[in-house]
Amino acid sequence: MYTSNVYTVMIASPGDVKDERYLARDVIMEWNSNHSESRKIVLLPLMWEFDTYPEMGDRPQALINKQMVERADVVIAVFGARLGSNTGVAPSGTVEEINLQFTKQRPVMLYFSNGSIDRDKFDAQQFAALQKYKSELRSASLYTEFDSSQDFRTKLSNHLAKLLNDKTSFKDFDNGGARASDNAQLGEDLILSPAMQVVLNLANNSTNKRIEQGSPGNTPEMIKEWESAIDTLVKHGLLKKEDNSESVVLTPLGIKIALGNTVKVTSPRASKLLFKTIKSREGRMQLLDRSNGLFMMVDNEHLIEDRNVKTLAEYVAALNELTEFGLLEKRGVGSYYVTSEAFRYVKEFEPLLRNVYDKSILN
């Protein structure tokens, strides 16, 4: 008999890498068999298939976060050819789990498959979303690619051993293996102004989680409001100024606050659709699927400026964004109406958003 510290290792992934999920569990258990007695460490794998239970009261991903991610000391995230389904907070459940783990400043091990793809199960939209997410990570993380299941097993086994030899990865744990109590941070109690909410939202949705300090506003009042927002967020630990740079970057606390931010519209095209619809005669936008293509119209005005596939996809995504957040409501076939929440939202955020987002798109 021996006493050990127990660390939980969550295995996160979309649904197309089932084999790799079970291989990851095997690697964890193999490490325990070979090292736990000598190292006085036991790794406890967490998988939603075995470690969640039925519960009500919140969206499914939030319940998974509470039951698993908040317990996780390490997250192993594996991707095949899919990113996963949007949760309303992140592009997929796996991405939301990675983001939450990052806000806790705990290790995330990222793996992407380069293996062959089953043509019968291939989803071009999912694959494109995955590649976009992967490209966003290149300059802000160190991830590993694998060519086969065996390649994944070998690499994960080596990496897990190295991680457990890196004492700095577990610096937040005391000698008993329990989490040290989190220090209260001033930023948790900060009441965000509309300007601060827009700054956080833009930074959180940008590559590398950073934005330029310079105001996008064109009036002295707007410039002052922008600069004051950044200064306040820096003071409260949500943003950090970079040395020898005009940029500010989100801190882990800033990302945590940004995930619960009330700013809803995050894309220029969604802003355009919302502004055009809310100022129309009927408060209605029509989505028309005709033989010569897809059209979005408000008061007989065509909103899609060109007919290329990328632009059409961006507008469809923008429309989905607005309906998901309750700013437009679908009634009947192809008709979308603004909601009372949309009027409140635009009244509060329109001045800032019109300066932040691309005016050539909004006009």
- Output the tens digit of pLDDT for each of the chain's 363 residues: 556 778 899 999 999 999 999 999 999 999 988 888 888 888 889 999 888 888 888 899 999 999 999 889 999 999 999 999 999 889 999 999 999 888 878 899 999 999 888 777 888 999 999 999 998 888 778 899 999 999 999 999 999 999 988 755 554 443 333 343 333 344 445 667 767 877 887 777 666 677 777 756 556 777 788 888 888 888 887 888 877 777 888 876 677 666 555 555 556 778 788 888 888 888 999 988 877 778 889 988 888 877 777 788 878 888 887 887 778 888 888 899 988 878 877 766 655 555 544 443 344
**Strands in 114-158 per DSSP E:** 144-146
Which residue's structure tokens are 């635009």?
346
* Residue pointed to by tokens 């000698």: 175
pTM of the shown model: 0.51
Residue 319 dihedral angles phi and psi, to the nearest 5°: -65, -45
C-alpha 246 chain-centroid distance: 25
User: Which residue type occupies 336?
Assistant: Y
DSSP annotation of 353: H
Distances in Å between the Cα of 19 and the Cα atoms of 1, 147, 340 are 33, 14, 47
- pLDDT of res. 102: 85
Q: Are 212 and 247 in contact (CB under 8 A)?
A: yes
**CA 80/CA 121 separation, integer angstroms:** 12
**Residues recorded for the chain:** 363
The CATH number of 5-170, from 2.120.10.30, 3.40.50.10140, 3.40.50.300, 3.40.50.2300, is 3.40.50.10140
What pLDDT sits at residue 169?
A: 56
Class of domain 186-259: mainly alpha
AA identity, residue 158: N
CA 294 from centroid of its chain's CA atoms: 29
pLDDT for the residue 304: 83
Rounded CA-CA distance 62/93 in Å is 9
Matching fold, domains 5-170 and 268-362: no
Q: Can you tell me the distance from the alpha carbon of 304 to that of 297, in angstroms, rounded to the nearest whole number? A: 8
- Tokens encoding 216: 């996008």
Q: What is the CATH number of domain 268-362?
A: 1.10.10
φ/ψ of 22, rounded to 5, equals -70, -30
Radius of gyration of the chain (CA): 23
Give the whole-angstrom CA distance, residue 146 versus residue 159: 13
Contact 81, 120 (CB under 8 A): no
Alpha-carbon gap, residue 17 to 234, rounded angstroms: 40
Q: What is the DSSP string of 231-288?
A: HHHHHTTSEEEPTTSSEEEE-HHHHHHHHT-S----SHHHHHHHHHHHTSSSSEEEEE
Q: How far apart are CA 200 and CA 254, in angstroms?
A: 7
- Domain range annotation of the chain: 5-170, 186-259, 268-362
Residue type, 195: A
